[in-house]
Amino acid sequence: MKYYLRIVIILFATLLYISCKKNTSVTMTINNNMSYKFLALGDSYTIGQSVSSSERFPNQTAEMLKSMNKNVLAPEIIAMTGWTTRDLLNALNSDAPGNNFSIVTLLIGVNNQYQGLHIDQYRLEFTELLLKAIQYADNKSNRVFVLSIPDYGVTPFAQGTDTAKIAREIDQFNSVNKEISLSYGVNYLDITPISREGRTDNTLHANDGLHPSGKQYKKWADLLAPLIAEKIQ
């Protein structure tokens, strides 16, 4: 009797092990097939003025993430050339994108500086935009990634202007968006030093002489993709 009882116990344990292994396999398959929705908010730097859609930094970032075995869907981009923080807010208030994104990037402010808008207005509107970005990321602040404003003062477009003033004001705007970003616990990526490499490297500028080239956007993506991969694993 004890012998048969032992056989039953062994068989039960074996079946339980096989069952658990199958469940683990199913869980791993589900995780590997998980899709990540990507929302990119901004202005000309996000829409990729003067470069192809595949060269935009959100698109290059998504492709890099795919190479890291992250199933990232094609980025949904809400951005237009010339947009200020108020323009982006108006667009989002008019047509909200939803709250189920795994990745949300925000890069905005160069047109506030260019148009001479007050930095206090930028502080208020950037804060409002950041809160929306967190909301779109299912209220997960670690899924939001703010990029600093590039310095267009090093571009051919800015030749003959007060480039020192442009650099100084860009730094001031970036100090504001960085302070706010860190206070809300989102990720902050400083790509401004990369943009300033354009002072001596013309290949970092698009053909229009103002916006970044696909090469420069790749440099951004090289930094951004690993940061995102770490947060969505």
Q: What is the pLDDT of residues 209-232, one digit of tens each?
A: 999 999 999 999 999 999 999 999
- Here the tokens at position 225 are 């993709």
Question: How high is the mean pLDDT of the chain?
Answer: 90
Per-residue model confidence (pLDDT) at position 34: 85
For residues 61 and 39, is the Cβ–Cβ distance under 8 A?
A: no
149, amino acid identity: I
Identify each DSSP E strand in 18-86 by its residue range: 35-36, 38-42, 71-72, 76-79
Calpha distance 108→88 (Å, rounded): 8
What's the order of all strands across the beta sheet hosting 103-107?
76-79, 38-42, 103-107, 144-147, 187-189
With 50 as the cut, is the pLDDT of residue 106 above it? yes
Among 101, 106, 111, 113, smallest CA distance to 181 is for: 106
The lowest-confidence range among 2-11, 31-40, 130-139, 183-192 is 2-11
With 50 as the cut, is the pLDDT of residue 17 above it? no
Number of CB atoms found within 10 A of residue 58's CB: 29
For residues 219 and 198, is the Cβ–Cβ distance under 8 A?
A: no
With 90 as the cut, is the pLDDT of residue 233 above it? no
82, amino acid identity: G
37 or 12, which is more confident: 37
User: Tokens 């074996």 belong to which residue?
Assistant: 14
User: Mean pLDDT across the stretch 115-122?
Assistant: 98
Q: Nearest-5° angle of CA 105, CA 43, CA 72?
A: 35
Calpha distance 97→68 (Å, rounded): 26
Per-residue model confidence (pLDDT) at position 33: 66
Give CA separation, 183 vs 90, 137, 155, 177, in Å. Answer: 24, 17, 32, 10
Q: What is the pLDDT of residues 22-56, one digit of tens each?
A: 444 333 333 456 899 999 999 999 999 999 999 99
With 50 as the cut, is the pLDDT of residue 8 above it? no
The lowest-confidence range among 2-16, 51-65, 72-86 is 2-16
| Spatial CB neighbours of 165, under 8 Å, sequence gap ≥ 6 | none
Among 223, 205, 192, 213, smallest CA distance to 54 is for: 213
With 70 as the cut, is the pLDDT of residue 196 above it? yes
Q: What is the pLDDT of residues 144-179, one digit of tens each?
A: 999 999 999 999 999 999 999 999 999 999 999 999
